[in-house]
Amino acid sequence: MMNNQAAKKEEKKKTAAVILSGCGFMDGSDVVESVSVIVELTRKGIVPRFFSPHEEIDESYNYITKQIDSSEERYMHKESARIAREKILSIDQLRADQFDMLVIPGGNGVVRNLSNFEQEEYNVNEVEVNSHVEKAIVDFFKQKKPIGFMSNSVILGAKALGKVSGKTGNGIAVALGKTLDRVFVETLMTKFGNELSQESGDAEVVCTDSSHRIASVASVSAAGTVQPNEIHAAAKNLIEELIDLTKREE
């Protein structure tokens, strides 16, 4: 007869789809957020699989000169592989029915690479999320599978989910860090029927929208200088909350 320990090993491991947008907080996914997510997923026995658009990054950032480097040719999936240490699957291959949860770390690449927010100068009427990223978010939402957002990736959720929640003025709730453009985010969320959460000054506090199985943390978008240990704690709290959301009844 199989003992409890052996039976536990036989259990199917949960899986998480993780969407990345490059390597580096200015022109890709925030490295500390992304690595913290990976550490916490694997610590909990959850298998991460990584996805990104297989496209060139429009503007690469030189972290030494702190300037845009137009001569540098970089690709989102190749840069993301530096973080994941494995092949990055194309975002159009992401299928919500193959995973237990979706996690999107933040970073300016969320704004620069996964949407046109900066190109449109934060014009709420013209913003668009990468169609495959938006489809992934909406599909997880419709299948009632948990979605986790860190820092400014909540902007993607506000845009993608406000129009499918079906509750004008009472859509998703997310954590808003104080360094986000609050006027823009408020306008965006209100336009697409989202509920505004508290303005979070604490990087580690999880905002949970239980009815929609959405969890978010301000992380690096919280007030002041957010230290790596705080970012890691934010990721830990987020992953623990997402695991709890997978266990909740309909």
**pLDDT tens by residue, 66-109:** 788 877 889 999 999 999 999 999 999 999 999 999 999 998 88
Read off the amino acid at residue 65.
Answer: T
| Domain at 15-247, CATH from 3.30.70.100, 3.10.180.10, 3.90.1660.10, 3.40.50.880 | 3.40.50.880
Comparing 145 with 125, the larger pLDDT belongs to 145
**For residue 108, what pLDDT is reported?**
83
Contacts (Cβ under 8 Å, ≥6 apart) of 155: 110, 111, 115, 117, 180, 185, 188
**For residue 111, what pLDDT is reported?**
81
- Given pLDDT bands bounded at 50, 70 and 90, which one contains residue 211? confident
Mean pLDDT of the chain: 83
Global pTM?
0.87
* Percent of the chain with pLDDT strictly greater than 90: 48
**For residue 161, what pLDDT is reported?**
81
- Mind giving me the DSSP string for the chain? ---HHHHHHHSPPPEEEEE---BSTTTSB-HHHHHHHHHHHHHTTPEEEEEE--SB-SSEEETTTTEEETT---BHHHHHHHHHSSPPEEGGG--GGG-SEEEE--SHHHHHTSB-TTTTTT-TTT--B-HHHHHHHHHHHHTT--EEEEGGGHHHHHHHHHTTS--TT------EETTS-HHHHHHHHHHTT-----EE--TTPEEEEGGGTEEEE-GGGSSSPPPHHHHHHHHHHHHHHHHHHHH---
Token pair, residue 34, equals 């992304």
- Asked whether 3 and 91 are in contact (CB, 8 A), the reply is no
* Percent of the chain with pLDDT strictly greater than 70: 78
Contacts (Cβ under 8 Å, ≥6 apart) of 17: 48, 49, 51, 94, 96, 98, 99, 101, 102, 103, 136, 140
Rg (CA), the chain: 17
Residue 166 has pLDDT above 50, yes or no: no
Comparing 177 with 36, the larger pLDDT belongs to 36
